[in-house]
């Protein structure tokens, strides 16, 4: 049976945190191991450079860190193709051709782009590459003829723009060479994991994330500093579990749902202190993250092998993208020297 192609990836701008883990990495491993999909998983380093062009060292370091995170979480290079975006020049060629099919006004209307431009406070100094990255994403997706693209709800406008480009290209050049992608949304229970400070966004810039590479001492320090209920001053006081990050994380990572509910009831009635709940969360997180950390340490002992894995994956991915580019140029009538 022919496997459906899935494309997914991350912008390498630092190590991956547990929000990435519950939001996408666990699901990727499950899909990879199901055997029904051909997985292409990539580091979008060219997209990362759109707002980090003056700090390429960060991107280079992050590529290695993200590769280690992938391997530690169970992404298997014998089952999935792991590659680096910038090592596939065919993606840039496709981006150039697609740019002629998209208006500036359409890019500026993209809700995801508008939100990110505001978050990054570009003002009127928006790098062209950043504004253009929905087209670059369409190239990533279509180069591998991906049928499915796992995305969060906030990324659906990006996927819709890719679908528009597919329609426009196929219609303009009277072909069916490009495949229309479909979204795979994360499980509802995964959601977006808030930062440990209660902020709705977990990120490096806000210094509110737990990373897969964090050692036990760092994990403990972060758990013990987590936002709980500011009104729960004394142990005997009734506490709130809504908006309490410790209980939120227990809901996501805890396996003993009965015990967690008992702790919630006790906390809301009064008599259960924050420290005791945090210590239990630390046990839960260490059970989940400890093995990942140990595998990461083992893979990090041979960075050369990690880079060789990325090189092999990039070469495989480039062969696939080159075939798609060739088909696109033929459809456009610009494969001038092809017999």
Rounded CA gap, 278 and 246, in Å? 6
Report if residue 105 sits inside a domain.
yes
Burial class (CB in 10 A: 0-12, 13-18, 19+), 176: exposed
Average pLDDT, the chain: 93
Mean pLDDT of 206-232: 96
Rounded CA gap, 10 and 192, in Å? 15
Q: In this structure, are 77 and 154 located in the same domain?
A: yes
Q: In this structure, are 17 and 86 located in the same domain?
A: yes
Q: In this structure, are 272 and 134 located in the same domain?
A: no
DSSP 236-304: TS----TT-HHHHHHHHH-S-HHHHHHHHHHHHHS---HHHHHHHHHHHHHHHHHHHHHHHHHHHTTHH
Least confident of 24-28, 184-188, 213-217: 184-188
Q: In this structure, are 185 and 308 located in the same domain?
A: yes
Report if residue 211 sits inside a domain.
no
Report if residue 210 sits inside a domain.
no
Q: In this structure, are 70 and 178 located in the same domain?
A: yes
Query: Which CATH number covers residue 233?
Result: 1.10.240.10
Task: Tell me, letter by letter, the H, E, C secondary structure of 38-76.
Answer: EEEEEECHHHHHCCCCCCHHHHHHHHHHHHHHHHHHCCC
Rounded CA gap, 166 and 146, in Å? 12
Q: In this structure, are 328 and 315 located in the same domain?
A: yes
Q: Is the pLDDT of residue 188 over 90?
A: no
Q: How many domains is the chain built from?
A: 2
Q: In this structure, are 281 and 263 located in the same domain?
A: yes
pLDDT band at 339 (very low <50, low <70, confident <90, very high): low
Contacts of 297 (CB under 8 A, 6+ apart): none
Report if residue 171 sits inside a domain.
yes
Rounded CA gap, 290 and 5, in Å? 32
pLDDT band at 190 (very low <50, low <70, confident <90, very high): low
Mean pLDDT of 221-245: 95
Report if residue 226 sits inside a domain.
yes
Q: Is residue 7 helix, strand or coil?
A: strand
Q: Is the pLDDT of residue 189 over 60?
A: no
Q: In this structure, are 278 and 309 located in the same domain?
A: no
pLDDT band at 152 (very low <50, low <70, confident <90, very high): confident
Mean pLDDT of 36-40: 96
Report if residue 201 sits inside a domain.
no
Mean pLDDT of 136-154: 94
210 near 222, Cβ under 8 Å? yes
Q: In this structure, are 179 and 322 located in the same domain?
A: yes
Give the angle subtended at the CA of 192 by the CAs of 191 and 196, to the nearest 5°.
130
Q: Which residue has the higher pLDDT, 100 or 110?
A: 100
Q: In this structure, are 142 and 270 located in the same domain?
A: no
pLDDT band at 118 (very low <50, low <70, confident <90, very high): confident
Range of the domain at 228: 216-298
Q: Is residue 200 helix, strand or coil?
A: coil
Q: In this structure, are 186 and 328 located in the same domain?
A: yes
Q: Identify the bridge partners of residue 40 per DSSP, sorted by sequence position.
A: 7, 81
Q: In this structure, are 156 and 56 located in the same domain?
A: yes
Query: Which CATH number covers residue 158?
Result: 3.40.50.620
Mean pLDDT of 56-69: 96
Q: Is the pLDDT of residue 257 over 70?
A: yes
pLDDT for 338 equals 79
């Amino acid at each position: 049976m022919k496997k459906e192609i899935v494309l997914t990836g991350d912008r390498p701008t630092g190590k991956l945190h547990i929000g990435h883990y519950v939001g996408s990495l666990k699901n990727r491993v499950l899909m990879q191991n199901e055997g029904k999909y051909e997985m292409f998983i990539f580091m979008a380093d060219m997209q990362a450079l759109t707002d980090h062009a003056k700090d390429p060292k960060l991107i280079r370091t992050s590529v290695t860190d993200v590769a280690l995170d992938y391997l530690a979480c169970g992404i298997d290079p014998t089952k999935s193709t792991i590659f680096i975006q910038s090592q596939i020049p065919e993606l840039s060629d496709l981006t150039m051709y697609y740019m002629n099919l998209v208006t500036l006004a359409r890019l500026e209307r993209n809700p995801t782009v508008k939100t990110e431009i505001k978050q990054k406070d570009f003002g009127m100094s928006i790098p062209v590459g950043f504004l253009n990255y929905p087209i670059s994403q369409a190239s990533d997706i279509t180069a591998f003829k991906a049928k499915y693209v796992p995305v969060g709800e906030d990324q659906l406008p990006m996927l819709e723009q890719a679908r528009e480009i597919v329609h426009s290209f196929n219609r303009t050049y009277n072909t069916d060479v490009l495949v229309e992608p479909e979204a795979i949304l994360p499980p509802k229970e995964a959601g977006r994991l808030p930062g440990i400070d209660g902020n709705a966004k977990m990120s490096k810039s806000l210094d509110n994330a737990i990373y897969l590479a964090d050692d036990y001492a760092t994990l403990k320090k972060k758990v013990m500093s987590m936002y709980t209920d500011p009104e729960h001053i004394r142990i005997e006081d009734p506490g709130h579990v809504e908006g309490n990050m410790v209980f939120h994380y227990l809901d996501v990572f805890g396996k003993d749902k009965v015990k967690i509910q008992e702790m919630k009831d006790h906390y809301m009635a009064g008599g259960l202190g924050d420290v005791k709940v945090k210590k239990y969360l630390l046990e839960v997180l260490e059970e989940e993250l400890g093995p990942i950390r140990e595998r990461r340490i083992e893979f990090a002992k041979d960075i050369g092998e990690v880079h060789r894995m990325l090189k092999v994956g990039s070469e495989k991915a480039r062969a696939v993208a080159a075939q798609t580019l060739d088909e696109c140029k033929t459809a456009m009538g610009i494969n001038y020297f092809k017999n």
